[in-house]
Structure 1
Amino acid sequence: MNSAVVNVVAPLLIGAVYALLMSLIREPHRRTFNAIMVAGAGAAYLSGGGLGAWEYLFAAAITYCAFRGLNSWTFIGIAWLLHTASDVLHHLKGHPIVPFAHNSSLGCAICDPVIALWCLRGGPDLLAFIRRRSSDQHSELAN
């Protein structure tokens, strides 16, 4: 069970916490910041991911999507999904994203789609959503 928590549950929580923390950044800066984040993630394997020239192809595709993401949450989401594909390939055939953590690319491949889904939904302010839900529940209880 401990292995499942570390390999699956923790990356899911990390993705959710990432989206939650991003809510601290107001729009339009939130989108710009996330475009920069995914561009950086796209270059993560360039120092020796073990897949040769494919590393540069993935980095170029993610960089293009990140650039387009400066004006579009959809492109940021697509870039995170491309990074997910890269993570899967690295877990199966290449080197892990964190050299001393064998399953780090697997964790990244589980975390990244959570972030991608949040981006494809337009990078909403999750803290405001939680506040509204909490306020609505308190209002219902008062009535």
Structure 2
Amino acid sequence: MQYVMPVVVGVLYALLNSLLREPHRRRVNALMIAGAGAVYISGGGLGGWEFAFTALLTYVAYRGLESWTFIGIGWLLHTVWDVLHHFKGSPIIPFAHSSSLGCAICDPVIALWCLRGGPSLRELVRGGRPAAAPDRATA
């Protein structure tokens, strides 16, 4: 269950977010990755690197306001940060020793959804890409 539940949480996150209309869906997810960048800052155990990572994910989130690709990259970066905390730092939830590992399993599920363009539930069922405007990651 330790490895299955984080996948379920990631799928539920994508399904619930897919109910939001664009462009709100992308903007909410950009805000979520900005918040994820700061979750370890008050006790993550990696010192000044916590501030550097927060600054990096803030930039990625800013770019994510216009780009699902950047949001997906942000979740993948957070996955790496979770793995570092699992082995070297403090867990994301202080009283749950394996919480960073769970987050490291959940985040790539969310990243895959984001890298597909954050499709709506209807688009997920059809298997296609979102009908919204093209991703402006290169702008």
TM-score between both structures, scaled by the size of structure 1: 0.85
* Aligned residue number for residue 74 of structure 1: 69
Cα separation, 2, equivalents of 1:96 and 1:67: 26
* Aligned residue number for residue 52 of structure 1: 47
Percent identity over the alignment is 69
Corresponding position: 1:83 with 2:83: no
When the two chains are superposed, the root-mean-square deviation of aligned CA atoms in Å is: 1.2
* Aligned residue number for residue 60 of structure 2: 65
- Alpha-carbon shift at residue 82 of structure 1 (Å): 0.8
Cα separation, 1, equivalents of 2:3 and 2:11: 13
SS of structure 2 residue aligned to 1:115: helix
> Aligned ranges for residues 112-127 of structure 1 at < 5 Å?
112-127=107-122
Equivalent of 2:91, from 78, 87, 96? 96
AA partner of residue 36 (structure 2)? A
Structure 2: unaligned runs, 5 residues or longer: 128-139
Contact residue 93 and residue 100 of structure 2 kept, 8 A:
yes
- Alpha-carbon shift at residue 128 of structure 1 (Å): 4.5
Cα separation, 2, equivalents of 1:76 and 1:65: 7
* Aligned residue number for residue 124 of structure 2: 129
Corresponding position: 1:111 with 2:101: no
Contact residue 42 and residue 59 of structure 1 kept, 8 A:
yes
Contact residue 96 and residue 103 of structure 1 kept, 8 A:
yes
Contact residue 20 and residue 127 of structure 1 kept, 8 A:
no
AA partner of residue 25 (structure 1)? L
- Alpha-carbon shift at residue 23 of structure 1 (Å): 1.0
* Aligned residue number for residue 130 of structure 2: none
- Count residues in correspondence: 127
Whichever of the two has the greater Rg, that structure is 1
TM-score between both structures, scaled by the size of structure 2: 0.88
Contact residue 19 and residue 121 of structure 2 kept, 8 A:
no
In structure 2, do the counterparts of structure 1 residues 77 and 129 end up closer, same or farther at CA, with 3 Å as the change threshold?
closer
Structure 1: unaligned runs, 5 residues or longer: 134-143
Cα separation, 1, equivalents of 2:92 and 2:78: 11
